Homo-oligomer: A and B are copies of this chain.
């Protein structure tokens, strides 16, 4: 069961106030680091000390890893130096490098000064962009030589195990440190100790260069059901590994990015309720302005058709309905294509097949809506001419909008933008103008204006 944070916090307060050391130890032994991290962030500086000092150092390190980066730095620099150093040296290298990348340069140096022995490796890790395999990886990996015996490999595992990020895979390298194979702990446990690593290693290892984008890394984990993925340099030398827990965070991050873009705004990189109002405005105003300017074309379009509008005022009544439906049809098509691209089902080269499908779908959807519209206008007592105009317009508009909706994400991809920028707001803005043009062209023909 996941725990109730508020209840856990109250319990901890009671234990600290009562000075119940035994109770505190027991409490700390039984709480998950992720839960403890949430509680820790809400404590005063002195209380944090007390708690972290009472913890096993390993647990303290896991807890700090789960705290937000800014707060991690704040906690670590407020602790007595020996305690901070001890916790830092037990933290995972990849989490540490992520934190150092997030805080200011000065703050990072403060931390690095506490752990000079790890500073070099950390500085190297900090150089990889955070959204790449290099930015996600840790170098704390169990590497063995391909001509090691199983018992030698087991010995290395015992030595490096407590420090390694995962002990479930051991990576085999050759004399040039190039990655040549992988053995799972499962294989190691079930193999006779006199065999060599190369006798049991899987040589067909999936690995990625350090500059691989995290979205690609996540796709490989999904496709091949990986628990860890080795990262290599351009000479196939083993640099480190990415583990599945970091990849789950990546998938969630990439997804919310897509969702934000589809809502017509840039992704927000902090919690909604803690972002300032001005920050929310700054993430939204640009798209809103761009769309506003693009949509101002409709003002010119309508003033161009002023005479037609003056002659048949009823034409006005259907404007929001027609352009609204165009936007909806376009958004549906765009969403389907964005989703299919994200899942790897379609690529830009399927362009023609997609456009053909959307035209067909558009013809059917358009026919249904056109028939309903015609009957409805007649029941409301509209003239047959209005019925024909609006019905025919909606038929053409739905087809055009479906095609535009499907085309836009493909175009974005081709131009190396995120396909998700082909959002409902953008589509709506584009289909508005085309919808009005279609509507008034048909109206002029039918009403002979």
- Which residues of A does B touch, CB under 8 Å? 1-2, 29-32, 34, 157-158, 161-162, 167-168, 185-186, 189-190, 203-204, 206-208, 220-227, 244-245, 247-249, 251-252, 255-256, 258-260, 262-265, 268, 271-273, 277-278, 280-281, 284-285, 287-289, 291-292, 295-296, 298-299, 302-303, 306, 309-310, 313-314, 316-321, 323-325, 327-329, 331-332, 334-340, 342-343, 345-346, 350, 353-354, 357, 360-361, 364-365, 368-369, 372, 376, 423-425, 428-429, 432, 436
Contacts and interface: CB of A to CB of B under 8 A. Distances in A.
Contacts of A273: 340, 345-346, 350, 353-354, 357
B222 A335 contact: no
A161 B190 contact: yes
A338 B268 CA distance: 13
Contact of A30 (B203, B310, B318, B339): B203
Summarize A's interface: helix, strand, loop or mixed. Answer: helix
A158 B190 contact: yes
A335 B265 contact: yes
Nearest to A216: B2
- In the assembly, how many copies of this chain are there? 2
B320 A265 contact: no
A235 B436 CA distance: 64
Contacts of A335: 259-260, 262-265
Contact of A280 (B247, B262, B303, B361): B361
Contact of A302 (B320, B329, B342, B424): B320
A291 B327 CA distance: 11
Contacts of A340: 271-273
A281 B264 CA distance: 26
A368 B365 CA distance: 38
Nearest to A394: B292
Given A168-B168, A288-B329, 16 more contacts: A32-B206, A157-B189, A221-B248, A222-B249, A251-B255, A256-B343, A281-B364, A284-B332, A285-B368, A291-B328, A292-B321, A295-B320, A296-B376, A299-B318, A299-B320, A303-B317
Contacts of A226: 245
Given A244-B244, A335-B260, A295 B325 contact: yes
Nearest to A244: B244
Contacts of A31: 204
A284 B365 contact: yes
6 contacts: A247-B248, A248-B251, A262-B335, A273-B345, A295-B325, A298-B317
A299 B325 CA distance: 13
B310 A296 contact: no
Contacts of A29: 204
A34 B225 contact: yes
A362 to B, nearest CB: 10
Given A317-B299, A340-B272, A365-B285, A324 B429 contact: yes
Nearest to A300: B317
Contacts of A376: 296
A256 to B, nearest CB: 5
B321 A319 contact: no
